[in-house]
Amino acid sequence: MNCLGNSTQTLAVESIQEVFEAVEKEKADYGVVPVENSTEGSVNRTLDMFIDSEVKICGEVLMPVSHDLLSKSGDPQDIRKIYSHPQAFEQCRGWLKENFPDTLLSETGSTARAAQMATEDSNSAAIASSFAARLYSLKVISPRIEDYFHNYTRFLVFGRQFMEKTGRDKTSILFSIPHTPGSLFCVLKPFAEKGINLTKIESRPLKNTPWEYIFFLDFEGHATDRPIREAMVEAERNALFIKLLGSYPKSS
């Protein structure tokens, strides 16, 4: 992932929460987190972190995802446990059911961590990338075990500053609405009237308030565009609150 340049120094952490904390505490200038997968949908932990965080989305990257089954020996007969991230397990669910239906599946914070743990246990394997196999000197038992080969993950890049307009932008917001008939329609209506193309809408429950929800919305354009500014003003009249998460260049 070279959207930040080839000379970028990287800092690896264990979880999505730690990525946010590294940027918030200025240990890193930018963070990169998965936000949705083409077969398994949204990464809920990422969405939840944006609710309370003050970071600003400044880019997105769409990457093809392929998973391999890795182990120290390369012998499938040795495997008693398989490590991986929950999303990777879901993306390989059919293959695992067919090939390792009774094997214990152990969740990890990342596929890289799964590969590292597989190096410490000769009776375990990891679902991770071919890069992880090279990095941790693991052998590939089976390549490309994902259930769908057209498997992509969208990553968001975020920092502490808003991005300037580029002319090919996307904007992300979150908002909450009252429990009244048509309240969601009233918030979305101004965007339709201004000809703004909505590209994604997702809801997440508020953790401390049962049956209350936060909506995440992506649409084409930059927050400084006049139609978007006007739509946001009108939408705010019908929302409990609206939070601008950032405007950023669309992935190619």
User: Residues 192-239: pLDDT tens digits?
Assistant: 999 999 999 999 998 777 888 999 999 999 999 999 999 999 999 999
User: Residues 92-151: pLDDT tens digits?
Assistant: 999 999 999 999 999 998 898 999 999 999 999 999 999 999 999 999 999 999 999 888
Split at pLDDT 50, 70, 90, the class of 39 is: confident
Task: Please identify which of the residues 100, 153, 171, 191 carries the catalytic annotation.
Answer: 153
In the prediction, which pLDDT does 208 show? 78
Would you call 180 a catalytic residue per the annotation? no
Task: Please identify which of the residues 20, 50, 89, 155 carries the catalytic annotation.
Answer: 155
For 91-123, letters b (16+ CB in 10 Å) and e give bbeebbeeebeeeeeeebebbbbbbbbbbebee
In terms of pLDDT, which residue wins out, 206 or 46? Answer: 46
Measured between alpha carbons, how far is 154 from 146 in angstroms, rounded to an integer? 16
Measured between alpha carbons, how far is 156 from 171 in angstroms, rounded to an integer? 12
In the prediction, which pLDDT does 1 show? 44
In the prediction, which pLDDT does 252 show? 67
The ranges assigned to domains in the chain are 16-59+159-249, 68-150
Would you call 119 a catalytic residue per the annotation? no
Question: Domain 16-59+159-249 belongs to what architecture?
Answer: 2-Layer Sandwich (3.30)
In terms of pLDDT, which residue wins out, 57 or 41? Answer: 57
Split at pLDDT 50, 70, 90, the class of 12 is: confident
Mean pLDDT of the chain: 93
Q: Do residues 176 and 213 lie in contact, with contact meaning Cβ atoms separated by under 8 Å?
A: yes
In the prediction, which pLDDT does 74 show? 94
Query: In sequence order, what are the beta bridge partners of 128?
Result: 68
Q: What is the share, in percent, of the chain residues with pLDDT greater than 70?
A: 97
Domain 68-150 has CATH 3.40.190.10: yes
- pTM as predicted: 0.84
